[in-house]
Amino acid sequence: MSLLDTLRNDLTPIHREGYPFLLIGAVVSGLLLWLFQPLGWIALLITAWIAYFFRDPERVTPLREGLVIAPADGRVCLVGPAVPPAELGLGREPLPRVCIFMNVFDVHVNRAPLAGRVARIAYRPGKFLSADLDKASEDNERNGVVLATAAGLVGVVQIAGLVARRIVCFVREGEEIATGERFGLIRFGSRVDVYFPAGARPLVAEGQRAVAGETVLADLAYSQPPASFRIG
């Protein structure tokens, strides 16, 4: 294997959404290095962080009917029943919900938690409160995606945060999407909420780390009582 092949296998790919920012960073860094080197080195560090932020690693997604997979990297900040946003059309009764908070160092590419058809996409403008607060689900700018799956309707809501100012959605209504497939991205620091069908029991706890496309949030085909957790 050549050195080039080794680098290709070991380096984490950068999502295409990051290319314009990297180009701007490279141009600004070059100009500043020519005009005033200390500022140029600072600009290079910022450009390197942008490349890190937009990284898009491959993931190994478990595939079995009923498994709900984490749509985002980050910390599970809320677990419990909540009324879904009205624009999702999932009713006014509380549904099981898991919220994942992404800080600026997490991977921000979002993945489909279940295979299904994109039944609805609903964007709602709003505030930019800290995304780990419970009221961010109601007050913040957000984009909701409803998936029609074999297990029922599942809502996935991308929520902007204090720093995030841009929610990107790659899918359209009517499209079919596979479990773990990339469906969106949020810039820069935010949260993703997942609303399960009634009766679902989450298999994660608050404070747990989730990995998009890999961590199992719930098993809709499993009817046993919810698991307990130990911290240590």
Q: Which of these CATH numbers, 2.60.40, 1.20.120, 1.10.3210, 2.70.70, describes 67-219?
A: 2.70.70
Does residue 190 carry a catalytic annotation?
yes
pTM: 0.81
Residues 124 and 169 sit within 8 Å (Cβ to Cβ): no
Among the options 2, 29, 130, 190, which is catalytic? 190
- Per-domain residue ranges of the chain: 3-53, 67-219
- Tens digit of each residue's pLDDT (9 = 90 or more) over 126-183: 665 655 555 556 667 889 999 999 888 999 999 886 665 578 888 999 999 999 999 9
Nearest to 157 by CA among 202, 229, 100: 100
CB atoms within 10 A of CB 48: 13
Residues 126 and 161 sit within 8 Å (Cβ to Cβ): no
Residues 191 and 131 sit within 8 Å (Cβ to Cβ): yes
Q: What is the CA radius of gyration of the chain?
A: 19
DSSP helix/strand/coil, 232: coil
- Average pLDDT over the chain reads 82
- Tens digit of each residue's pLDDT (9 = 90 or more) over 9-60: 556 777 777 778 778 888 888 888 888 888 888 888 988 877 877 888 888 8
What local confidence, expressed as pLDDT, does residue 7 receive? 40
